[in-house]
């Protein structure tokens, strides 16, 4: 067993760096394991990343954050899912909700029964069975209730928040729990004989030695990529978007809807993320199909209020580092890889890395088996999310631009091709290993993008058709009724976040 750690250095103070610092300081004893975070104000952070997914609640709970305090500090709002507009074809919309569609009937999955009823025209639209989709449509929100047999128990939610405020909020907590922050630009790295990182040196001449390093240096991937030379696997052939332009604007008439909106455009897509005090907007696009000038013009002509700043351009590549943990260094956040923000998964990937690191790190820096396992699990995490994202672009009937024709006809990764083949034949859905997205997510996006199976899973025949149809009708009825009785999202924000209208 390797020696216990005495000092961990985190390079970078963006969302990833401060999430790592706060979680490590909360779990480890900072009197015996020192934690130092180095960041450079001159370099700055990416500063976007405003939409999240439900697992963030577990992360905040690990830190012991009070939800109301968190919402106030980050100017946060609730998120029940994502509305996709113009994705299947121009003029269409669908909702990818958190939570579940209906409930499984014992061993018979909900989707099997729904697909069978859909094929004979006896099912309501899919969204009618989702409390999150129904509540989002009505602008309503509440936290889930504990009782099992009630649609309100199936509310799943996450947050929209100001990423810079979230990093600041976590910084305050982390410093309180013993993390030392060091301002300054790292200009060189000292390596041991075996190539492990021994110390980082700052522009000021200061040297910081440690036995473990967490690279949260952003797209540059300073330690893992530049110093340790771990190559980048480029996934641009499937996810060609490589630019974004972002601008916040004043809240418009639609106000603080409890969901993210993603609107497909000719060569990319646009996000709308309502916070308490503004709306975050951005256009993600492929530079070989759209110029920066055209992207900026398109974005500015499709925002609901006055811009609150100059548009900011960001460049990225879809893909991941071949390994996430190399020697005594783990990369988190953009330093480990990037998948475009279509399903708001980046902050989750940071969290997933931290959770796994915490399982292995306290042993004393990780054994070779730990490192192999970490790299394997994180690779699967990235790849299953990648395939889910590809689905949105590939399963479309849009053919109005070269961009959409290219994506619609591209060859997809084998695992996704297999999943589509199984689903098209039988409607069967499954969750691969520990993958993030549930059957609810796959069903919402597959159906929403216009892919429906030819048949249904025969397990549905375990329930007589008339009984199944009656049960489906009852679920849709109680779901609609429960959503209509929920408080408004505005009321939730007033009560939970003490927000002034
Ligand atoms: C267009 C876009 C939209 C996004 N939207 C979402 C979203 O809705 N939801 C979501 O979950 N995620 C989203 N993300 C991803 C999210 O922004 C990032 O995952 C998150 O901000 C984490 O960034 P980071 O901390 O890894 O890197 P950064 O924010 O880039 O931070 C890097 C840090 O490293 C420091 N640093 C770098 N080099 C040095 C050096 N040599 N010396 C000292 N310090 C150094 C910098 O000063 C900085 O503090 C989005 C990303 C993009 C590009």
Q: Following DSSP, what letter does each residue of 264-290 receive, concatenated? A: EETTEEEEEEE-SS-EEEEEEE-TTTS
> Considering only CA atoms, which residue is closest to atom 21 of ligand 1?
15
Percentage of residues of the chain with pLDDT beyond 70: 99
Q: How many CB atoms lie within 10 A of CB 339?
A: 22
For residue 50, what are the CA distances in angstroms to 15, 304, 345, 350? Answer: 11, 18, 11, 14
Average pLDDT, the chain: 95
Q: Which is it for strands 212-215 and 186-191: parallel, antiparallel or unpaired?
A: unpaired
Looking at residue 474, its pLDDT comes to 97
- Render pLDDT for 23-66 as a digit per residue (tens, 0 to 9): 999 999 999 999 999 999 999 898 787 999 999 999 999 999 99
Token couple for 298: 């398109």
Residue with tokens 């639209």: 125
Average pLDDT of the segment spanning 317-326: 98
pLDDT at 221 over 90: yes
Q: Give the confidence band of 2 by pLDDT, cuts at 50, 70, 90.
A: low
Ligand 1 cavity residues, CB under 6 Å: 11-17, 38-40, 43-46, 48-52, 163, 185-186, 216-218, 220, 222, 244, 246, 282, 314, 316, 333-335, 341, 344, 346-347
- Average pLDDT of the segment spanning 95-115: 95
Distance 235 CA to ligand 1 centre (A): 19
- Asked if 275 and 77 count as a contact pair (C-beta separation under 8 A), the reply is yes
Examine the pLDDT at 500 and tell me if it is beyond 70.
no
| DSSP secondary structure, 325-388, as one string | EETTEEE-GGGTEE--GGG--HHHHHHHHHHHHHHHGGGTS--HHHHHHHHHHHHHHHHHHHHH
Q: Which atom of ligand 1 is nearest to the CA of 271?
A: 8
- How much is the pLDDT for 433? 77
Alpha carbon nearest to ligand 1 atom 19, residue: 346
Inter-residue contact 486 to 495 (CB < 8 Å): no
**Do the strands 81-85 and 7-11 form a parallel or antiparallel pair, or are they unpaired?**
unpaired
Q: Tokens in use for 354?
A: 């931290």
Average pLDDT over residues 6-32: 96
Structure token digits, residue 423: 């689903």
Alpha carbon distance 441, 452 (integer Å): 14
The per-residue pLDDT for 217 is 98
Distance 348 CA to ligand 1 centre (A): 13
Q: What is the dihedral of CA 99, 104, 107, 108, to 10 degrees?
A: -120
Ligand 1 atom at shortest distance from the alpha carbon of 40: 47
Q: What would the two tokens of residue 19 be?
A: 């999430």
User: What tokens appear for 497 in the block?
Assistant: 């976040």
Contact yes or no for 354/332 (Cβ under 8 A): yes
% of the chain with per-residue pLDDT over 90: 93
Q: What DSSP character marks residue 240?
A: -
CB 39 within 8 A of CB 66: no
Mutation probe of ligand 1 site: the residue of 11, 12, 17, 160 with most atoms within 8 A of C-beta: 12
Mean predicted confidence (pLDDT) in 204-221: 97
Reading the block at residue 393, the tokens are: 């672009």
Mutate to test the pocket of ligand 1, among 45, 239, 287 (most ligand atoms within 8 A of CB): 45
pLDDT value of position 49: 72
Whole-prediction pTM: 0.96
Dihedral angle of Cα 174, 179, 182, 183, to the nearest 10 degrees: 0
* Distance in Å, CA 15 to ligand 1 centroid: 6
DSSP code at position 434: T
Question: Which residues, in sequence order, are bridge partners of residue 96?
Answer: 82
- Report which DSSP code applies to 223: I
Measuring CA to CA, how many Å separate 266 from each of 62, 183, 271, 354, 404?
41, 43, 14, 37, 7
The mean pLDDT of 135-141, rounded to a whole number, is 98
Ligand 1 atom 6: residue of nearest CA: 49
271, 261 Cβ separation under 8 angstroms: yes
Quick: pLDDT tens for 363-420: 777 889 999 999 999 999 999 999 999 999 999 999 999 999 999 999 999 999 999 9
Is 173 tagged catalytic? no
Tokens of 45: 């952070």
Which residues does 392 contact at the CB level (< 8 Å), separation at least 6?
Answer: 84, 87, 342, 343, 445, 449
For 133, the 3-state DSSP assignment is helix
């Amino acid at each position: 067993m390797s020696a216990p750690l005495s000092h961990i250095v985190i390079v970078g103070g963006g969302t990833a760096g401060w999430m790592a610092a706060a979680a490590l300081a909360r779990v480890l004893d900072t009197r015996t394991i020192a934690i130092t975070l180095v960041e450079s104000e001159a370099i700055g952070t990416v500063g976007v990343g405003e939409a999240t997914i439900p697992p963030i609640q577990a992360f905040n709970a690990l830190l012991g954050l009070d939800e109301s305090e968190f919402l106030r500090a980050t100017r946060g709002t609730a998120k029940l899912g994502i509305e996709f507009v113009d994705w299947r074809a121009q003029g269409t919309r669908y909702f990818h909700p958190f939570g579940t569609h209906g409930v499984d009937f014992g061993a018979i999955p909900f989707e099997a029964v729904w697909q069978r009823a859909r094929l004979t025209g006896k099912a309501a639209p899919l969204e009618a069975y989702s409390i999150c989709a129904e509540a989002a449509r009505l602008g309503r929100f509440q936290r889930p209730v504990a009782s099992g047999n009630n649609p309100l128990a199936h509310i799943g939610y996450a947050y929209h928040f100001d990423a810079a405020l979230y990093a600041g909020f976590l910084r305050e907590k982390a410093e309180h729990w013993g993390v030392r922050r060091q301002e300054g630009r790292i200009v060189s790295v000292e390596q041991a004989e075996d190539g492990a990182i021994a110390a980082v040196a700052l522009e000021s001449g200061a040297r910081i030695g440690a036995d473990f390093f967490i690279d949260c240096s952003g797209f540059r991937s300073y330690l893992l990529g530049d110093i340790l030379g771990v190559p980048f696997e480029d996934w641009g052939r499937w996810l060609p978007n490589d630019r974004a332009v972002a601008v916040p604007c004043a809240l418009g008439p639609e106000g603080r809807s409890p969901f993210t909106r993603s609107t497909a455009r000719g060569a990319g897509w646009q996000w709308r993320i309502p916070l308490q005090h503004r709306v975050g907007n951005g256009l993600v696009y492929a530079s070989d199909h759209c110029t920066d000038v055209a992207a900026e013009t398109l974005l500015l002509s499709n925002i609901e209020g006055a811009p609150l700043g100059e548009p900011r351009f960001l460049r990225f590549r879809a893909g991941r580092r071949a390994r996430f943990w190399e020697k005594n260094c783990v990369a988190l956040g953009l330093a480990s890889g990037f998948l475009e923000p279509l399903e708001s998964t980046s902050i989750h990937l940071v969290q997933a890395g931290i959770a796994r690191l915490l399982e292995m790190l306290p042993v004393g820096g990780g054994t070779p088996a730990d490192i192999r396992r970490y790299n394997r699990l994180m690779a699967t995490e990235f790849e299953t999310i990648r395939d889910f994202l590809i689905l949105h672009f590939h399963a479309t009937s849009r053919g109005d631009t070269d961009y959409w024709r290219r994506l619609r006809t591209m060859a997809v990764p084998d695992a996704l091709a297999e999943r589509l083949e199984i689903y098209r034949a039988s409607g069967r859905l499954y969750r691969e290993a520990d993958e993030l997205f549930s059957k609810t997510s796959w069903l919402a996006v597959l159906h929403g993008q216009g892919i429906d199976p030819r048949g249904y899973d025969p397990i549905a025949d375990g329930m007589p058709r008339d009984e199944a149809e009656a049960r489906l009708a009852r679920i849709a009825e109680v779901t609609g009724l429960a959503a209509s009785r929920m408080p408004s999202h505005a009321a939730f924000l007033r009560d939970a976040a003490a927000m002034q209208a």
